Amino acid sequence: MQIRNNQAVIGITMLFKKQDNHEIVRKVGRGKYSEVFEGIDINRDEKVVIKILKPVKKKKIKREIKILQNLAGGINVIELLDVVRDPQSKTPALVFEYINNTDFKILYPRFTDFDVRYYMFELLKLRLIDWGLAEFYHPGTEYNVRVASRYFKGPELLVDFQEYDYSLDLWSYGCMLASMIFRKEPFFHGLDNYDQLVKIAKVLGTDDLFAYLDKYGIKLDKQYHDILGRYAKTPWQKFITSENQKYISKEALDFLNHLLLYDHQERYIIRKNS
């Protein structure tokens, strides 16, 4: 979604309700900016998810709320039910609809070839539940590269290219596909952000990496000088084994070739059918 002006984020008034109508049941997760709990909406006797925010700038909270309000009703967007605050601690919390979930790590070992195809299709329709780092997108704007889980970070983040766009998600999508068909999870397993790029280069080669850097005028961090060697591109066939070959098809490998590309402008893009 593209928004021409995000001044509304600054002007939005946060109207907090009291937390009395919600009861916390158990903790289900935590992150850098929040802790997440399963809860009950007492009035409606329904399960909800309560995201209790850690101390952050009000502007960040306002931005998350504004984005959720703008996207309300989207088929892939979690519903924000309430914005509440504890009257004593003044701690703000966002109340969301409860989404049933099965841990991917439980499903992964059981997947058949059909399951992989179905999962990758459904992955494009998953409910998006965490908007804490979401930004209003403006083409040509520089954004923070300290986003995304390491194993799914696109090369643009690892080389500090800040003018990234939606194509970043297609890299992450490709990482998921590679991990499922080659039965290697995660597929790119770096020890840190620097090593993550090295792991990628050992598969995609360094010639295309340096061509990408030259095209966009990107200078590598000096720390790469000692750890990034020269690597030829590894054919996907090298990753095929007797155990995973039943998941491999020409179509899957061709799909990977259009997802796992250094150059974000060359990756497949997703368009909604009209």
Considering only CA atoms, which of 74, 122, 123, 77 is closest in space to residue 97?
A: 77
Hunting for tokens 């990034």 — which residue is that?
228
Considering only CA atoms, which of 265, 258, 249 is closest in space to residue 212?
A: 265
pLDDT over threshold 50, residue 9: no
Q: What is the pTM of this model?
A: 0.75
pLDDT over threshold 90, residue 194: yes
Output the average pLDDT for the chain: 87
pLDDT over threshold 60, residue 7: no
Residues of the chain above pLDDT 90, percent: 57
pLDDT over threshold 50, residue 11: no
Among the residues of the chain, which ranges form H helices? 7-11, 58-70, 104-107, 113-123, 155-158, 167-181, 193-204, 207-216, 250-257
pLDDT over threshold 60, residue 274: no
Q: What is the pLDDT of residue 147?
A: 85
Band of the pLDDT at 251, cuts 50, 70, 90?
very high
pLDDT over threshold 90, residue 102: no
Q: Provide mean pLDDT across the span 250-256.
A: 96
pLDDT in tens, 60-100: 888 888 888 888 888 788 899 998 887 777 788 999 999 88
Sheet with strand 46-53: strands edge to edge: 17-18, 80-85, 92-97, 46-53, 34-41, 22-30
Q: What is the pLDDT of residue 272?
A: 61
pLDDT over threshold 50, residue 249: yes
Domains of the chain, each with CATH number or no CATH: 7-97 (3.30.200.20), 139-266 (1.10.510.10)
pLDDT in tens, 146-186: 888 999 999 999 999 999 998 999 999 999 999 999 999 99
Q: What is the pLDDT of residue 19?
A: 62
Q: What is the pLDDT of residue 75?
A: 78
pLDDT over threshold 50, residue 200: yes
Q: What is the pLDDT of residue 4?
A: 32
| 51 assigned binding-site residue | yes
